Structures are given as structure tokens and as C-alpha cells.
Amino acid sequence: MTDSDYKATLERAHTTTKGMTEGKNANYIPFLASVDPSLFGLAIVTVAGDVYEFGDSRYEFALESISKVFTMALALEDIGQEVFHRKVGADPTGLPFNSVMALEMHDDMPLTPLVNAGAMSSTSVLTAKDSDERWARILDVQSRFAGRKIELSDEVNNSEQSTNAHNRAIAWLLYSGGAMYADPMEVCEVYTRQCSTLVNTVDLAVMGATLAAGGVNPVTGKRVVTAANVPHMLAEMVMEGLYTKSGDWAYNVGLPGKSGVGGGLVAVAPGKLAIAGFSPPLDAAGNSVRAQAAIAQIADELKLGLYRVPGLG
């Protein structure tokens, strides 16, 4: 693929899908409800560090649940794969990302780090003497994945902290089940902050490309996560990365992905590249409508699906 091929692929996908009117912004977080729904950015970053972008690719949006992937990376580094698996789990819930029922059905134990319950459990296992250190480490790992300093949005954070009563309830349920490994309210507060950082579409593609490159950021050349931990992260993204639509995504696109209710979505083609999209209107499961369609088109054009049989399509 040449530079012009990648650029043309992005432009075609943007043109094809920008007119989609389905979906609506997340309305349960006031800040997200106020974001312009017409914004739409796409980016590709290869494992060689080549960057391609189109549309509103430099507009900064809330990372939201995509942050769960990078906190998982930090937790794996801290406590190892086996302990992480035992404490946090690795199975899809089959229920919405903020489901209390999923916890109740499993003795208040999380099943996966990529829904709210498991993500808070992941945050709680990090090595830290207090919540300030826990937060500093999370912000640092997000920055190392993106290859630039990522910052908290006070506006997003204040909006989320004032509406996170449901997550506070989940944190206490985790505590009652023995799956919360630090003070539950401090963990919930830090978890909410980790979702309130700002990235743009290019940042998100670099973060995904770091996984595609086996844990080395292809732009900075610096290792961010141990190579042996990357397959576990990608497996979780396949199983739970798009919440209750994860199976459909795997079936139709065939790439590990992770969405956030801020409108971001990243897909990883291991050893090759990452594709990121941003568009605020979401489907009923919480995934960007336009980003899903555009990334699916790009992945198909570039023949990136992991389950394709070489030579047969």
C-alpha cells in the first residue's frame, strides 16, 4: 500500500458514511450530549509509524471506556497475567457495559476488564500508595500509548463525577464480593477521571498501533507494554470491546476493537496497523454509528480481518 492508497481509502470511507443519521449522542453525561454530532474523523497509523488522517481527526473528545484497555495494560504489568485473570476475569457478560445484573449473577465478581465493573476492579489492583499515585500512573500510561501528554478535561470529569451514582453502586458491590482491592469510592473517583481524558482520532490510532506493534509505540519507538501481555488485551477487545455488539463486530469485521461513549472507536490489525474513528452519535449499545461503518469499510478494503483465509478473499 502506498501513502496515496491509504489516504484514498480513508477519504472513500468518510465520504460513504458521513451522511449516516442514525444514532444519538450519549445523553446521560451532560458534556457528551453537547458535542456537535456532525463531527467525524478517521485515522490510520501503521506499525512503521506512518500516520494518515481525514476529516475532524484533530478534534479532542473524551476517551471514555476506551481507557479500560490501557488500565488493563498497566494492571497486567503490575500483577501478571495469571493473577489478573483470576481477579478480574476474561469472559464477556452478554449484558450492557454498566450492568448490575451481570455482577449479581456472578456473586459480585467481575467477568471482564472491559465493562465498568471489571474496569474498576482493574483500577483497584494497580500498585499505588494512594489515589493520587494511582491516577498519575493511569494518566502516564495513556500518554505513553498516545505518544504525547494526555490531559484530564475538568469539564468532562465534573460532568461525569456528578452523574456516576450507578458506578458507585457497582464499586460497593465489587467490594462486597471481594473483587475491589482498594477503597471503593476512591477507585470509582479515579476510574471516572481515567474516562475523562481528551484524545483526538490520531492519538487513538497511535494507541491502537502500539498494540498492533506488540507494545512498542511506533511513533516514539518506546515500549509501553510487555509483548506477552498484548495478546490478552486483544482477546478481551474481541470478546467485549463493543459491548453487546462485540459478536457482531467480530463476525462482520474480524478485528479487535474498543469503543467509548464519547464517540471514539479503535480497531487493531496485529502486526500491521490500527484504524480509529470518531463520531458522537451512538447506537443502542453505545458504539459510534459512523465510526463502525467507516472502519468496517476500511478493514474490508484493506483485507485486514483476522479470520480471512489467505487467497480466498
The tens digit of pLDDT for each residue in 103-117 reads: 666 665 667 899 999
What torsion do the CA atoms of 227, 231, 236, 241 make, to the nearest 10 degrees? 80
Which is more confidently placed, 186 or 89? 186
Q: What are phi and psi of 94, to 5 degrees?
A: 75, 10
Q: Nearest 5°: CA angle at 112, between 110 and 114?
A: 120
At a CB cut-off of 8 Å and minimum separation 6, what does 53 contact? 10, 41, 42, 43, 44, 201, 202, 205
Q: In the chain, what percentage of residues exceed pLDDT 70?
A: 93
The tens digit of pLDDT for each residue in 118-166 reads: 999 999 999 999 999 999 999 999 999 999 999 999 999 999 899 888 8
> Cell 489516504, residue?
7
Question: Is the whole model's pTM more than 0.75, yes or no?
Answer: yes
